[in-house]
């Protein structure tokens, strides 16, 4: 889960160490990553093929990963982003810590960052977009035919085995006045894990503008879209798959 916010005027990349200091006790490992471009869900024409948008100004901000020992919990920070991820690095290890626990941690992290920015002389964080993602990975045994209909209810039951799979659906998220504010993406695609083993993935992502641009507004967005993602998970997966996932968890 994460937020995108307006960059604060009094922050520069040289202060990234100070941000790490906020989280360092729990996240003692740091990695540098290329920055994420700003993203915005807007509404009008149907989305066309995206074209690359790379601008080099001579002053860009890296993205930093702050990791817990073991690497399951991860904070991502750059000048306009704060994300908290939980990753299952191996099928047999690490219990999913539940949404309620993660969002509580993320709230504390947003508040801590906002307090830090305030100490630099800035106003509160102004949230421009929120994002919540669930990524499920399904191992595909070597030599076994891939039958996505065993996992996904939107694939015809008589679909012959296939080699590669790629399917995306988007839903518009609307407020109580039917005005659009975000989208729910469902992506299913074949790929490989870090060890080269074939996977089928189901990625459910809700992304959009919160009703209020505050931390509380972001929390409301994450809470509400969490239920939308859960509903879509139930809609998009077969009963058999849901049973198998329960067993895996």
What does the binding site for another protein look like in residue numbers (CB under 8 A)?
Answer: 6-7, 37-45, 47-51, 53, 55, 57, 80, 126, 128-129, 145, 160-170, 179-181, 185, 187, 189, 208-209, 213
Separation between Cα atoms, residue 184 and residue 91, nearest integer Å: 26
The residue among 11 and 27 lying less far from another protein, judged by its C-beta, is: 11
- Report how far Cα 25 is from the mean position of its chain's Cα atoms: 24
Separation between Cα atoms, residue 87 and residue 64, nearest integer Å: 16
The β-bridge partners of 35 are none
The residue among 47 and 248 lying less far from another protein, judged by its C-beta, is: 47
The residue among 41 and 73 lying less far from another protein, judged by its C-beta, is: 41
Minimum distance, C-beta of residue 214 to another protein, in the bound complex (Å): 13
Residues 210 and 218 sit within 8 Å (Cβ to Cβ): yes
How many CB atoms sit inside 10 A of residue 46's CB? 6
Residue with tokens 């997966």: 237
The residue among 110 and 184 lying less far from another protein, judged by its C-beta, is: 184
- Report how far Cα 73 is from the mean position of its chain's Cα atoms: 13
Minimum distance, C-beta of residue 105 to another protein, in the bound complex (Å): 26
The residue among 27 and 152 lying less far from another protein, judged by its C-beta, is: 152
Among residues 192, 204, 202, which one has the least CA distance to residue 140?
Answer: 192
Minimum distance, C-beta of residue 219 to another protein, in the bound complex (Å): 18
Minimum distance, C-beta of residue 80 to another protein, in the bound complex (Å): 6
Among residues 158, 150, 133, which one has the least CA distance to residue 200?
Answer: 150
């Amino acid at each position: 889960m994460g937020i995108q916010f307006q960059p604060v005027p009094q922050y520069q990349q040289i202060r990234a160490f100070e941000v790490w200091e906020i989280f360092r006790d729990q996240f003692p490992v740091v990695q540098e990553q290329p920055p994420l471009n700003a993203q915005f869900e807007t509404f009008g024409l149907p989305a066309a093929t995206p074209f690359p948008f790379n601008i080099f100004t001579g002053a860009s901000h890296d993205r930093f990963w702050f990791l817990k020992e073991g690497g399951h919990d991860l904070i991502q920070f750059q000048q306009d982003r704060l994300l908290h991820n939980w990753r299952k690095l191996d099928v047999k290890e690490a219990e999913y810590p539940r949404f309620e626990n993660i969002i509580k941690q993320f709230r504390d992290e947003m508040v801590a960052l906002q307090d830090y920015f305030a100490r630099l002389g800035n106003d509160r964080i102004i949230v421009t977009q929120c994002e919540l993602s669930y990524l499920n990975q399904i191992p595909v045994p070597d030599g076994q035919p891939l039958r996505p209909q065993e996992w996904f209810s939107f694939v015809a039951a008589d679909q012959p085995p296939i080699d590669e799979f790629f399917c995306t659906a988007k839903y518009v998220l609307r407020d109580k006045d039917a005005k659009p504010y975000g989208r729910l993406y469902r992506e299913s695609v074949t790929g490989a894990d870090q060890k080269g083993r074939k996977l089928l993935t189901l990625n459910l992502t809700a992304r959009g503008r919160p009703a209020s641009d505050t931390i509380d507004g972001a929390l409301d967005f994450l809470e509400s879209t969490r239920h939308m993602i859960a509903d879509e998970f139930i809609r998009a997966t077969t009963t058999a798959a849901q049973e198998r996932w329960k067993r895996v968890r």
